[in-house]
Amino acid sequence: MSMQLWIGARIATMAEGGAPYGFIDDGALVVEAGRIAWVGPRAELPAHYASGAQVHDVQGALITPGLIDCHTHLVWGGDRAREFELRLQGASYEDIAKAGGGIVSTVKATRAADEASLLAQAQRRLDALLAEGVTTIEIKSGYGLSEEAEAKCLRVARTLGQRNRLDVRTTFLGAHALPPEFAGRADDYIAEVVRMLPRLHEQGLVDAVDAFCERIGFSVDQTRRVFETARALGLPVKLHAEQLSDSAGTQLAASFDALSADHLEWLSEEGVRAMAKAGTVAVLLPGAYYFIRETRLPPVALLREHGVPMAVSTDCNPGTSPCTSLLLMLNMACTLFRLTPEEALAGVTRHAARALGLPDRGVLAAGLRADFALWDVEHPAQLAYAFGARPCRGAFVQGQAR
């Protein structure tokens, strides 16, 4: 494909260390063979790029890296609106889980659904994210909880990646909840997860491994067994950690060089230090915090102080965050967690890429993937400021329009 030159743009490269947002007022972006060949102020554009390229004048639009939603459970059957009603009558998220509702009710509906209907439902959710400039998404399993049903969900995730112009990264979350047939036998179920993982990996279905380390999930010891299996297979790990209580799962995750620890409302300073040392990203999920009416905030100031990169994601799932707007999460990360708009945008670009172990994206810089979004806004802070706005004008993945 020929060389493409984008001009007339304000560009938020999100590169670190320079201007806020890596902002360029009158920028130019050169794309060749799916990669960024050059990006910078238009006045400095080398002459050979100006002559050989097909030129697109975006007339003042903002260009950012394509957005990355680094924590979703996009594939599930059924819904949990009834549970929402129960919670409004006073039941807590944990009460419902203990009474056999919650995640397990979604597991039943997901097992019963065929692949085509799971695909259709997930596609609708994905469409909303695509319309907001998302170019990479992570999708977890975890509502199948048997080898067959986990494989089904992971295949749906892979199919979404083939049918849409975006990159899908899959995460195996077999250790999400105890399936009913293993009631009272959590260790046996973990042994089953450990058996499943290599077989799913062999089918090319797994890019990373996650677990839910929590009172209503799995213990640190059980999580460790899953992580050891991941390590033996060379797969990176992530963890749902310290969402409802401090189980010190984050320290375990850091000891396995986890890509990320996610949620983190109850994270301790010791956990923050362990993350800083291991280079583990903190994935903040304001949608879940909001939807289950958490009152304890993740320790943002401590994370900042220790230089732990913060990502932001939808956590799109039926129980705690039935949300398909990453832009709304930018706004909530600022209003609820007090991130700056620049931190929030870094959280869905540069830091989200790192939370997925993808150094080839998340920033607009020469040599990286030409994944970018065009916005009808003047300044990048507007992306976090407005909610319910639909500012995305289009998105490009490896230089190709969607």
Nearer to ligand NIG, 319 or 341 (CB): 319
H/E run at residue 170: strand 167-175
Report the residue number whose CB is nearest to ligand NIG: 319
List alpha helices for 16-72, DSSP H.
47-52
Judged by CB under 6 A, the residue of 6, 23, 212, 289 near ligand NIG is 212
Q: Which does 343 bind (CB under 5 to 8 A by kind): ligand NIG, Fe ion, none?
A: none
Nearer to ligand NIG, 5 or 157 (CB): 157
Cα gap 164→400, rounded to integer Å: 12
Q: Is 260 in the site for ligand NIG (CB under 6 A)?
A: no
Q: Which does 298 bind (CB under 5 to 8 A by kind): Fe ion, ligand NIG, none?
A: none
Residues 6+ apart with CB under 8 A from 215: 94, 244, 245, 247
Cα gap 109→212, rounded to integer Å: 20
| Residue 148 neighbours by CB distance under 10 Å | 9
Q: Is 261 in the site for ligand NIG (CB under 6 A)?
A: no
Q: Which two tokens mark 45? A: 């554009």
Q: Which stretch binds ligand NIG (CB under 6 A): 25-33, 112-120, 310-318, 359-367?
A: 310-318
Q: Which does 171 bind (CB under 5 to 8 A by kind): ligand NIG, Fe ion, none?
A: none
Q: Is 315 in the site for Fe ion (CB under 5 A)?
A: yes
8 A C-beta contact, residue 192 and residue 198: no
Q: Is 138 in the site for Fe ion (CB under 5 A)?
A: no
Q: Is 106 in the site for ligand NIG (CB under 6 A)?
A: yes
Q: In what order do the strands lie in the sheet with 167-175?
A: 67-69, 134-140, 167-175, 208-213, 238-241, 260-263, 281-284, 310-312
- Measured CA angle at 141 (ends 348, 317), to 5 deg: 55
Judged by CB under 6 A, the residue of 288, 302, 353, 355 near ligand NIG is 288
Q: Is 324 in the site for ligand NIG (CB under 6 A)?
A: no
Nearer to ligand NIG, 49 or 182 (CB): 182
8 A C-beta contact, residue 308 and residue 343: no
Q: Tell me if 64 is assigned to a ligand binding site.
A: no
| Residue that is written with structure tokens 């199948």 in the block | 144
Where does this chain bind Fe ion (CB under 5 A)? 315
- Binding positions for Zn(2+) are 71, 73, 240, 315
- Binding positions for Fe(3+) are 71, 73, 240, 315
Where does this chain bind ligand NIG (CB under 6 A)? 102-103, 106, 212, 240, 243, 288, 315, 317-320
